[in-house]
Amino acid sequence: AAAAETAETAAAEEEEAEQARQGGEALVGLEDAASGGYVTLAGEVRYEEVVVKSRFVAYAAPVVDAEQAIAWVKGRSDAKARHNCFAWRLPGGETRTNGDGEPGGTAGPPILAAIEGAGLHGVAVLVCRYRMDGGAKLGTGGLVRAYGGAAASSLLVAEVVEVVPLLALRVRYPPEDVGAVYAALSAYSPRAAEAPEGDAAADAGLLEAVCEVPREAVDVLARTLRDATSGRAELVAASEAAARTL
């Protein structure tokens, strides 16, 4: 009985592996590819408000990495401001805050909380505080509300976009399946095109199409191609491509 169970398990594992190969799950390059998209800002925005004679000017912008975020904060910071406080949240979830001399936890963390509360990634927010004549101290609670409120308000007026990571694929297929292949690709990659001539596939009498497809759609596309061409079409390569905004 144990031997029979072992044989059944091995057969099931082999069938699962074969389905994975046919479904495109073992494509080259998928191991390190990004698995999902994120929501960010379409562009930079500015928001300003006055709280107890302190002027808070908030800037928010999309960023893709720490280097870009640092450069943006440096470029936007104002030497005339009493404090230039910021926070960012990168596409991968990494965060950083800086209160620029304000009491601990009253500036950077509330700004970050506004970004997280908006469900955004790849965003940096800078809030510049200017003390006006006759301005009073805001206190810890007042600072938290002022910095967090300015940051949240700047994000509310911003336009958001979804960024979808793409994979660059090559589809190899026989000439008689050209219609079925492009019909399948059109749902996922409107810009699909024929691969340059001289590829090794041509020597085998096959054609190749190149396309960029959202990562999450690759497995479905592989199955669609397999079903539409009775298994003759094959996804033969994959690599990360530039992200696309929707």
* pLDDT classification of 17: cutoffs 50, 70, 90: very low
| Averaged pLDDT, 57-79 | 98
H or E element that contains 182: helix 178-186
Residue 79 token pair: 């030497």
Between CA 130 and CA 75, with CA 115 as vertex, the angle to 5 degrees is 50
Is the pLDDT confidence value at 241 over 80? no
| Averaged pLDDT, 72-94 | 97
The residues spanned by each domain of the chain are 38-158, 164-246
* pLDDT classification of 14: cutoffs 50, 70, 90: low
pLDDT value of position 206: 87
Q: What are phi and psi of 30, to 5 degrees?
A: -75, -20
Of residues 127 and 27, the one with the higher pLDDT is 127
Select from 151, 161, 145, 122 the least CA-distant residue to 59: 151
- Residue 209 Cα to chain centre, angstroms: 26
Helix axis angle, 108-117 relative to 139-156, nearest 10°?
40
pLDDT value of position 46: 98
If you search the block for the tokens 């810009």, which residue do you land on? 191
CATH code: domain 164-246 is: 3.30.70.240
* Amino acid at position 160, single letter: V
Condensed to tens digits (0 to 9), the pLDDT of residues 221-234 reads 889 999 999 999 98
Start-to-end C-alpha separation, the chain: 55
Of residues 236 and 108, the one with the higher pLDDT is 108
Tell me how far CA of residue 244 lies from CA of 48, 109, 123, in angstroms: 31, 30, 16
Q: What SS3 state is found at 161?
A: strand
Is the pLDDT confidence value at 52 over 90? no
CATH code: domain 38-158 is: 3.30.230.30
Q: Is 11 exposed, middle or buried (0-12, 13-18, 19+ CB in 10 A)?
A: exposed
pLDDT value of position 194: 63
pLDDT value of position 20: 37
Q: What SS3 state is found at 87?
A: strand
pLDDT value of position 245: 55
Q: What are phi and psi of 157, to 5 degrees?
A: -90, -5
